[in-house]
Amino acid sequence: MPKPWWKRKGLRVTLVIVIVLGGLLVLTDRIAASVAEDKVAGLIAQEAGNQGVTMTTEPDVDMGGWPFITQVFGGEYKQIDIAFRDITAQGVNLPELNVHAANVLAEMTDVLNGSGPVVAQRMTADARLTFESISDTLAQTNTPVELSAEGEQLVVKSTLDVFGTQIPVQGKASIEMAENAVRVTISEMSADGVQVPPGGEGLIQEFAGGLSKEIPLPPLPYNLELTDVRVEPDAVVLSASASEVPLV
């Protein structure tokens, strides 16, 4: 026997109310997250400035995890992702620095009032060095170099003046960590498809030796320590980590 029409109508009304309330809950949760993200972004930018880091824009902050409101009341956030763009420290430019802070402790009133402390129990980060920025560091006077990726190595190309003749040269370079620096080592370099004038090979090897150098890195914010360096198709990526880090 079919249900009376008023019971069917009541069920539909209940479903509509549940959907509306659910939507309001999601909206409220996202609004709260957005407000907190703006507050934290300003605090992080201020603290980074205190550590000698300059930036053209505030970092992008994404406070993940659902629901957000329960994290606010609990004072612990599962993960906060912070994206810095075009930052400079001690004269060295990092076009991109992505920080992932896990298990972040912060009191609700502190976050909403725009104050600290905000402490991450664990933090990892990836910084990207563009090939262009590395090329600018390696380039010698009037002899620019061009970099590209080939597996885990860099391909280095340039044009060298050898006894008045412009000789295209090409070599390979390895990337590895050094103390507060990235070490670039040219493993081989030779003329690229042309005959080298007598005595020119020595000049090419001397040029290659001059390209092998350490690129100093600025102290990363939040006492991040370099853990790995790798070559990707469009950049050299530095990985770092830290524990018990005060974000602000």
Residue 130 burial by Cβ neighbours in a 10 Å radius (0-12, 13-18, 19+): middle
Q: What is the pLDDT of residues 68-80, one digit of tens each?
A: 566 665 667 777 8
Query: Mean of the pLDDT values across residues 7-27?
Result: 46
Phi and psi, residue 192, nearest 5°: -100, 90
Give the residue with greater pLDDT, 216 vs 9: 216
Q: Band of the pLDDT at 108, cuts 50, 70, 90?
A: low
Residue 144 has pLDDT above 90, yes or no: no
137 vs 202 pLDDT, higher one? 202
**With 50 as the cut, is the pLDDT of residue 13 above it?**
no
Q: What are 175-199's pLDDT values in tens digits?
A: 998 887 888 998 888 888 888 888 8
More confident call, 21 vs 35: 35
Q: By percentage, how much of the chain surpasses pLDDT 70?
A: 66
CB 207 within 8 A of CB 189: yes
Query: Could you tell me the pTM of the whole model?
Result: 0.69
Q: How much is the pLDDT for 172? A: 92
Q: Say what the pLDDT of residue 194 is.
A: 87
- Domain ranges (residues) in the chain: 12-130+234-246, 132-220
pLDDT for 27 equals 43
Cβ-count burial 8-25 (b if 16+ within 10 Å, e if not): eeeeeeeeeeeeeeeeee
Query: Using 50, 70 and 90 to split pLDDT, how confident is the model at 140?
Result: low
Per-residue model confidence (pLDDT) at position 56:
74
Q: What integer pLDDT is reported at residue 24 of this predicted model?
A: 39
In this structure, the dihedral spanned by the alpha carbons of residues 113, 114, 115 and 118, taken in order and rounded to 10 degrees, is 110
Coil/strand/helix, residue 69: helix
Q: For the chain, how far is it from start to end, CA to CA, in angstroms?
A: 66
Q: What pLDDT does residue 239 have? A: 92
For residues 46 and 11, the model is more confident at 46
Residues 202-216: what's their mean pLDDT?
Answer: 87
